[in-house]
Amino acid sequence: MSPRPETVPQAAADAPHVRDQLARLKANIERVFLGHAGTVDRAICCLLARGHLLIEDVPGVGKTVLATALARSIDCSFSRIQLTPDLLPSDVTGVSVFDRATGDFTFKRGPIFANIVLADEINRATPRTQTALLEAMNEASVSVDGKVMTLEQPFMVVATQNPYEFEGTYLLPENQLDRFLMRISIGYPSPADEARILDLRPFLTSLPDLAPVLHRDDVIALQQEVDRVRLDRSLLDYVVAFATATRRHEQVEVGLSPRGSLALAQAARATALYQGRHYVIPEDILANVVAVCAHRVITRSALSSRNGSHTENVLNTILRSVPSPI
């Protein structure tokens, strides 16, 4: 009897097509989001990993532009929720409206029923409204009036938020933060990139005319390719060893949960595919530690104020203490 064919070589045969799709997606986003190529890479990898993305930074650095450009580059449904203190949970999920003609209640879907949802300034909404996103982000479904409605795939929430110390913002609870696969910051552009932004004004010129370069079915196929990326047992043990080390470190109050370990492994698979490989290497894991883990780990000095830079330093210290498998 001939041996059963492996799935990885078959997937590898499609590598040039996958690279072409991802290169077109990145180039399309960079038509309007100038500079910060690494940020675009991270956003695409989050999409490939079926994750939700939280972009945290000061106003005016392009958070909304990045999220909108990513959504418009894919031929799928897109909605934007502008989070405000007076927004109600039903404004997100939808509401049942009485129809006089039929004598029945008709459910009017809210903006959460889209493939890519931009939740702009998520930490300006009250905690009650923030939690309305929890089930949708975790289960890809919405429960209204005792009925569970499944959200269409692909489904991704791209949320933006200003730093916590800004006036009129609310802390995102830990269980809300944990639903985001990645949290990233954009930072200020370089002087050369800022000059290009001032000259080209892409938000006014290029963004309105940005055409999709991938169909929703292409994105689903790419996500399935990520699931076929090989993660060697030694690398799985490396992820577990790192997670265990975060739970035992003297400066850490809450370490990485099993959900966080799953997120790190999936992000590593997505990074490998993005780099044109169907197998994970240690660098794929290391590249995602801060984006995937920093918002899930709580250090003792960050209990009163969430000091992101301190958490990153602690994570890097823990990484150096865990032997690499290769």
Provide the CATH topology of domain 230-326: Helicase, Ruva Protein; domain 3 (1.10.8)
Output the pLDDT for position 210: 92
CATH number of 7-85+116-121+155-228: 3.40.50.300
Rounded distance between C-alpha atoms, residue 141 and residue 247, angstroms: 31
Contact present, 230 and 8 (Cβ < 8 Å): yes
Closest CA to 275 of 23, 13, 47, 64: 23
Closest CA to 257 of 160, 175, 148, 161: 175
What is the rounded average pLDDT for all residues in the chain?
87
Q: ω before 154 within 30° of 0 (cis)?
A: yes
Residue 177 exposed, middle or buried by CB count within 10 Å (0-12, 13-18, 19+): middle
Single-letter code of the amino acid located at 110 = G
Contact present, 136 and 179 (Cβ < 8 Å): no
pLDDT, tens digit (0-9, with 9 covering 90-100), for 216-240:
999 999 999 999 999 999 999 999 9
Q: Kindly indicate the confidence band of residue 307, based on its pLDDT and cuts at 50, 70 and 90.
A: low
Q: Kindly indicate the confidence band of residue 6, based on its pLDDT and cuts at 50, 70 and 90.
A: very low
Closest CA to 137 of 122, 120, 151: 151
Delimit the domains of the chain by residue range.
7-85+116-121+155-228, 230-326
Say which range, 170-179, 204-213, 263-272, has the weakest mean pLDDT. Answer: 170-179
Q: Kindly indicate the confidence band of residue 291, based on its pLDDT and cuts at 50, 70 and 90.
A: very high
Output the pLDDT for position 133: 84
Rounded distance between C-alpha atoms, residue 77 and residue 57, angstroms: 26
252 φ, ψ to 5°? -110, 125
Task: Average the pLDDT over 52-78 and give the result.
Answer: 92
Report the percentage of the chain scoring pLDDT > 90. 55
pLDDT, tens digit (0-9, with 9 covering 90-100), for 175-199:
888 999 999 999 899 999 999 999 9
pTM for this model (two decimals): 0.88
pLDDT, tens digit (0-9, with 9 covering 90-100), for 76-92:
999 999 998 889 888 99
Give pairs for 35-40: CB < 8 Å, separation 24+.
35/189, 35/190, 35/193, 35/194, 35/196, 35/197, 36/62, 36/186, 36/187, 36/189, 36/193, 39/66, 39/184, 39/186, 40/66
Q: Kindly indicate the confidence band of residue 11, based on its pLDDT and cuts at 50, 70 and 90.
A: very low
Single-letter code of the amino acid located at 199 = D
Spatial neighbors of 214 by CB under 8 A, at least 6 apart, are 21, 24, 25, 73, 74, 75
Indicate whether 248 pLDDT > 60.
yes
